[in-house]
């Protein structure tokens, strides 16, 4: 994840799931957990994610709050896999509230 990002700018969160041998695979269910800088958590289900190919998933959103955001993807069903907590920063603006 790169950044920092400007407030009200679209951010894309990405994940690639793979087996121990490095072969990409799709879990039968995927959940994205996203926490904003105020501590509010949003859970995003698989139906709201974009499937870019075997094992490749993404989610786009536009953060309206500045500060440090945290997210992680979790796959379940035919496998059990969870990514580490990943952080990114949205910069405060002198002109745009948030």
The answer to the question of residue 24 being in a domain is yes
| Structural domain includes residue 51 | yes
71 in a structural domain: yes
Coil, helix or strand at residue 25: coil
> How far apart, in whole angstroms, are the C-alpha atoms of residue 81 and residue 84?
10
Give the total number of structural domains in the chain: 1
Answer positive or negative: Cα dihedral of 57, 33, 70, 63: positive
- Per residue in 2-50, pLDDT (tens digit) is 779 999 999 999 999 998 888 999 999 999 999 999 999 999 999 999 9
The pLDDT of residue 53 is above 70: yes
pLDDT digits (tens, 9 = 90+) for 29-38: 999 999 999 9
Domain residues for the domain of 32 are: 5-91
Please choose, from the candidates 39, 12, 29, the residue with its C-alpha nearest in 3D space to the C-alpha of residue 77: 29
Which CATH number does the domain housing residue 87 bear? 2.60.40.10
pTM metric for this prediction = 0.91
- The answer to whether position 67 is within a domain reads yes
Is residue 79 over pLDDT 90? Answer: no
């Amino acid at each position: 994840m790169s950044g920092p990002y400007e407030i009200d700018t679209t951010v894309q969160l990405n994940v690639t799931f793979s087996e121990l041998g490095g072969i990409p695979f799709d879990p039968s269910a995927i959940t994205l957990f996203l926490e904003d800088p105020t501590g509010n958590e949003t859970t995003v289900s698989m139906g709201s994610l974009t499937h870019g190919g075997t094992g490749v998933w993404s989610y786009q959103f536009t953060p309206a709050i500045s500060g440090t955001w945290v997210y992680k993807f979790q796959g379940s069903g035919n496998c059990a896999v969870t990514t580490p907590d990943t952080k990114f920063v949205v910069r405060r603006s002198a002109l745009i509230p948030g």
